[in-house]
């Protein structure tokens, strides 16, 4: 069982007070570094994005904007309006621009959907990404459907359909792959659920981690966005932060019924993109960029699953199946999740996320994200040492 010594406890106390201020999100490593400088963070395995994609993006940014001096135009002038950015995305995903709503990150879209379309009752599957319940209006009733750890946190389609039919919500949320469990619903399962739940007014599908999932051996890119044509009650939300490693830019979009887009744009969301997010959306329509992106996406998936396999070999842990770029790990030796996280951070400089603030996650869980190959190795060695050195 993992225990903190006196010095570790002192530092841990400072970190915990920052955590309290961050609500149900992990404090950023910058907040920690600023206020607890004695912590030497080597790997941020809390953070969920493809680090290779960040490097690729930065390479293009340098070539296109910094070296040419065009960065000035991007930062000085107003970015294009929502509908103009939607037109860029329309070319990217080959869907009508009238069905695309551009967001200042997916979080803004979740807020817009929760405030404007979700009505009296929503079914949220837990554990989940907290804004799906935190952003609810006061008059929205939240009904939780609980993923069971005995079922590896997988959504069991028929059971879920029965649950929703009984509760009769106006809205449901599915994150695929789910955060924080990484559990994945196949395209066919999703289609089956949608076919059986046509009566639900709003089906919110968050595909923020979909580009890390795969159904074939060639890791073909997945998305259920096209199901929107058959199911107009479907709203698909897409964060760009994870796949492309650009959380600081705030870029996201959603596909939804065109009346819904019009309602949102009627009296708001005019200039919610910024110069760099507009550049980013233009960049990902370029074949030269996407060709290189596909390589780093596949490489990252392969390394991620190698990392998961190495984690699964460690003692005193259960690693749950994941098709995201992170994995949920249960501690089996009686250690508390928070002690594991704090000791790993303070003693080894490896920052992972505790599951103990996630509603619907009972037991001692940590969520660990895959980083670069070298960083994954540091994580493995740190956890191994931590587990072996505890009684």
Residues within the interface to a second copy (CB under 8 A): 21-23, 25, 28-31, 44, 47, 49, 51, 54, 57-58, 61, 66, 71-81, 83-84, 104-105, 107-108, 111, 114-115, 131, 134-138, 241, 245-250, 267-277
Closer CB to a second copy, residue 136 or residue 380?
136
- What residues form DSSP beta bridges with 205? 174, 236
Tell me the closest approach of the beta carbon of residue 29 to a second copy, in angstroms: 7
Sheet holding 202-206, edge to edge: 100-103, 252-255, 234-239, 202-206, 171-175, 121-126, 141-146
- What residues form DSSP beta bridges with 173? 124, 204
Burial of 198 (0-12, 13-18, 19+ CB in 10 A): exposed
Virtual torsion, Cα 158, 160, 165, 171, nearest 10 deg: -140
Closer CB to a second copy, residue 72 or residue 148?
72
Tell me the CA distances in angstroms from 285 to 52, 196, 218, 221, 282, one per residue in order. 19, 35, 22, 15, 5
Could you give the maximum distance between any two Cα atoms of the chain, in Å? Answer: 62
- What residues form DSSP beta bridges with 143? 123
The three-class DSSP label of residue 378 is helix
Closer CB to a second copy, residue 183 or residue 272?
272
Tell me the closest approach of the beta carbon of residue 264 to a second copy, in angstroms: 11
| Residues, the chain | 391
Closer CB to a second copy, residue 185 or residue 276?
276
Name 48's Cβ contacts closer than 8 Å, sequence gap at least 6.
Answer: 179, 209, 242, 324, 325, 326, 369
Closer CB to a second copy, residue 24 or residue 389?
24
Closer CB to a second copy, residue 51 or residue 360?
51
Tell me the closest approach of the beta carbon of residue 209 to a second copy, in angstroms: 15
Tell me the closest approach of the beta carbon of residue 114 to a second copy, in angstroms: 7
Closer CB to a second copy, residue 37 or residue 315?
37
Tell me the closest approach of the beta carbon of residue 59 to a second copy, in angstroms: 11
Tell me the closest approach of the beta carbon of residue 250 to a second copy, in angstroms: 4
Closer CB to a second copy, residue 23 or residue 334?
23
d(CA 175, CA 168): 19
Closer CB to a second copy, residue 51 or residue 180?
51
Tell me the closest approach of the beta carbon of residue 97 to a second copy, in angstroms: 12
d(CA 155, CA 146): 9
Tell me the closest approach of the beta carbon of residue 31 to a second copy, in angstroms: 7
Tell me the closest approach of the beta carbon of residue 32 to a second copy, in angstroms: 12
Tell me the closest approach of the beta carbon of residue 302 to a second copy, in angstroms: 21
Closer CB to a second copy, residue 138 or residue 288?
138
- What percent of the residues of the chain are helix, what percent strand, and what percent coil, each to the nearest 5? 50, 15, 40
Residue 246 φ/ψ, nearest 5 degrees: -135, 45
Q: Which two tokens stand for residue 334?
A: 């009686």
Sign, CA torsion 197/199/204/207: positive
Strand 252-255 relative to strand 234-239, pairing: antiparallel
The three-class DSSP label of residue 55 is helix
């Amino acid at each position: 069982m993992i225990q903190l010594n006196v010095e570790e406890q002192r530092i841990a106390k400072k970190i915990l007070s920052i955590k309290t201020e961050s609500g149900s999100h992990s404090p950023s490593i910058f907040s920690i570094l600023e206020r607890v400088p004695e912590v030497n963070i080597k790997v941020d395995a809390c953070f969920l994005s493809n680090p290779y994609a960040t490097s690729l993006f930065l390479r293009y940014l340098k070539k296109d904007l910094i070296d040419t001096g065009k960065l000035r135009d991007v930062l000085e002038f107003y970015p294009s309006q929502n509908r103009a950015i939607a037109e860029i995305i329309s070319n990217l995903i080959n869907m009508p621009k009238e069905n695309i709503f551009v967001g200042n990150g997916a979080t803004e879209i979740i807020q817009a959907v929760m405030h404007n379309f979700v009505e009296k009752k929503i079914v949220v599957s837990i554990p989940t990404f907290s804004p799906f319940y935190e952003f609810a209006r006061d008059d929205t009733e939240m009904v939780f459907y609980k993923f069971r750890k005995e079922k590896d946190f997988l959504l069991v389609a028929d059971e879920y359909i029965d649950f929703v039919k009984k509760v009769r919500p106006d809205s449901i949320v599915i994150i695929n792959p789910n955060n924080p469990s990484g559990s994945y619903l196949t395209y066919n399962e999703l289609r089956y659920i949608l076919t059986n739940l046509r009566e639900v007014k709003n089906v919110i599908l968050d595909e923020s981690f979909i580009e890390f999932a795969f159904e074939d051996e060639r890791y073909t890119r997945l998305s259920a966005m096209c199901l929107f044509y058959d199911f107009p009650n479907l709203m698909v939300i897409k964060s760009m932060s994870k796949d492309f490693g650009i959380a600081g830019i705030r870029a996201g979009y959603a596909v939804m019924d065109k009346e819904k887009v019009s309602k949102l744009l009627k009296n708001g969301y005019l200039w919610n993109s910024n110069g760099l997010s507009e550049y980013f959306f233009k960049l990902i329509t370029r074949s030269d960029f996407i060709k290189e992106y596909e390589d780093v996406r596949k490489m990252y998936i392969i390394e991620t699953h190698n990392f998961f396999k190495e984690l699964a070999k460690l003692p005193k842990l259960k690693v749950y199946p994941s098709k995201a770029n992170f994995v949920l790990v249960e501690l089996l030796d009686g250690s508390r999740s928070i002690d594991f996280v704090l000791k790993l951070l303070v003693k080894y400089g490896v920052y992972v996320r505790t599951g103990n603030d996630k509603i619907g996650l009972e037991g001692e869980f940590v969520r660990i994200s895959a980083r670069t190959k070298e960083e994954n190795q540091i994580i493995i060695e740190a956890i191994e040492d931590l587990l072996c050195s505890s009684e």
